[in-house]
């Protein structure tokens, strides 16, 4: 997987953005990982990391440059779907981010710079594979055909929201598309995903589970418990870690001293690989093979996708307080997964500037139509707060529901009840 003569570079934020060359391994910095290895072909062979840390570090699976001599073995239709999903997600992110800034919704988290990790991996899965996400995997749902109006309904918490407005924005879930509802606490989904994978194994179903999380969540105790359970129970699961350089404001240099997340896998008995997360082809290849081994061999697999969080952690965060503008601009302008895929398509003759303009216009129109519909819809009836928990409502909840009803009857003028369904 590591070619002869490969050298990895550590990009140090500065006004000149001069790369500093490191002769061995993949270099870790406080803001991410990168390499200048020649990418001459799509690489499909995975390596089993045999140890953590060390002088060489863990090598990084690469996919292709924008102009490889040999094209990736993916059909044009699939590549176009990858690109359109990534760009549609980016458009939705921009509109909903501005919506929050205008006070229209309460909260939002963008996927800027990480689109290649979840869209590339989603394409490598079967539609029935069960997904446990964190909160930056909207691209998986979008790739599986989750409609824009339901994305908007969830963020607005209106009557069309399947969750009936009970969750924070971006906490999506969809039974029909096998996407488990997102929860805010870090890493809780990891042992849950292992349990689901074990159940699938016992049912002898030809399915896998994929569990997404960030490198910050990998420091939680639930991650270690999940890794160990998956290995000892031989569960058909793919652990997909998005190493985007930061756990909110904490850089990777302050999170761990070892060689990232992939190097931890062998200690648990997990097959492990590090992949260029901004190369959608490399992500696809790694996930495809990991999924195959998980199903065919009941071999749990750990993927560490090296990427970069271009946006703020959330609308509650201001990342300018802990990282430089030069650092963000480098990843936005020089190593963005959408730009890399677009250049590849342009060089293959699969895309042109007119198509780009047309798609950008039509995708924005689709998002804005869904956005406007979501804004016009009412919020769910407050009485629904008490439903869907118990088959038969217990006495204490009946009392609380009655108390809420009396309160609103007496003081309803102090609340915007006109925005709620009767």
Active-site positions? 98, 184, 313-314
Dist CA 202 CA 191 (whole Å): 17
CB-based contacts of 75, cutoff 8 Å, min separation 6: none
What residue has token string 């406007």? 372
SS (H, E, C) 327-361: HHHHHHHHCCHHHHHHHHHHHHCCCCHHHHHHHHH
Nearest to 163 by CA among 191, 182, 139: 182
* Residue 89 contacts residue 136 (beta carbons within 8 Å): no
Nearest to 66 by CA among 242, 306, 281, 273: 281
Nearest to 211 by CA among 241, 245, 170: 241
* Tokens at 412, concatenated: 């309803």
What residue has token string 């994305």? 151
Backbone Cα Rg of the chain: 22
The vertex-335 CA angle with 329 and 338, nearest 5°, equals: 105
Instruction: Assign 400 to helix, strand or coil.
Output: helix
- Please report, for residues 217, 303, 329, the alpha-carbon distance to residue 387 in angstroms, rounded to integers and kept in the order given: 32, 39, 47
H or E stretch at 101: helix 76-101
What residue has token string 């691209």? 139
Instruction: Assign 79 to helix, strand or coil.
Output: helix
CB-based contacts of 200, cutoff 8 Å, min separation 6: 130, 207, 208, 209, 236
């Amino acid at each position: 997987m590591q070619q002869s003569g490969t050298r990895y570079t550590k990009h140090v934020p500065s006004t000149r953005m001069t790369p500093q060359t490191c002769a061995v391994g993949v270099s870790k910095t406080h803001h991410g990982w990168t390499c200048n290895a020649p990418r001459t072909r799509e690489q499909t062979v995975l390596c089993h990391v045999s140890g953590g840390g060390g002088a060489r570090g863990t090598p990084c699976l690469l996919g292709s440059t924008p102009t490889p001599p040999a094209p990736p073995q993916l059909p044009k239709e699939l590549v176009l779907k990858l690109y359109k999903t990534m760009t549609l997600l980016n458009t939705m992110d921009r509109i909903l981010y501005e919506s929050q800034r205008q006070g229209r919704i309460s909260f939002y988290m963008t996927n800027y710079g990480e689109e290649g990790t979840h869209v590339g991996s989603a394409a490598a899965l079967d539609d029935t594979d069960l997904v446990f996400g964190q909160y930056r995997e909207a691209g998986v749902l979008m790739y599986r055909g989750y409609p824009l109006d339901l994305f908007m309904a969830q963020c607005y918490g209106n009557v069309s929201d399947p969750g009936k407005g009970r969750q924070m924005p971006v906490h999506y879930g969809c039974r029909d598309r096998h996407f488990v509802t997102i929860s805010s606490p870090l890493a809780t989904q990891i042992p849950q995903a292992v349990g689901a994978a074990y159940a699938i194994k016992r049912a002898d179903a030809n399915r896998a589970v994929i569990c997404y999380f960030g490198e910050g969540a990998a420091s939680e105790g639930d991650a270690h418990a999940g890794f160990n359970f998956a290995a000892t129970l031989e569960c058909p699961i793919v652990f997909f870690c998005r190493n985007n350089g930061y756990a909110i404001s904490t850089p990777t240099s302050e999170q761990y001293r070892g060689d990232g997340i992939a190097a931890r896998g062998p200690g648990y008995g997990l097959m492990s690989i590090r992949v260029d997360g901004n190369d959608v082809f490399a992500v696809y290849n790694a996930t495809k093979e990991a999924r195959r081994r998980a199903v065919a061999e009941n071999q749990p697999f750990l993927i560490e996708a090296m990427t970069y969080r271009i946006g703020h952690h959330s609308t509650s965060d201001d990342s300018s307080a802990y990282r430089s503008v030069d650092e963000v601009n480098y990843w936005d302008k020089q190593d963005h997964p959408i730009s890399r895929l677009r250049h590849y398509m342009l060089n293959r003759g699969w895309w042109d500037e007119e198509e780009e303009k047309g798609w950008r216009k039509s995708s924005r129109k689709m998002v804005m139509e869904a956005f406007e519909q979501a804004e016009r819809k009412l919020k769910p009836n407050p009485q629904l707060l008490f439903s869907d928990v118990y088959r038969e409502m217990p006495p204490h909840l009946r009392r609380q529901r009655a108390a809420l009803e009396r309160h609103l009857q007496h003081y309803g003028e102090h609340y915007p009840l006109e925005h709620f369904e009767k």
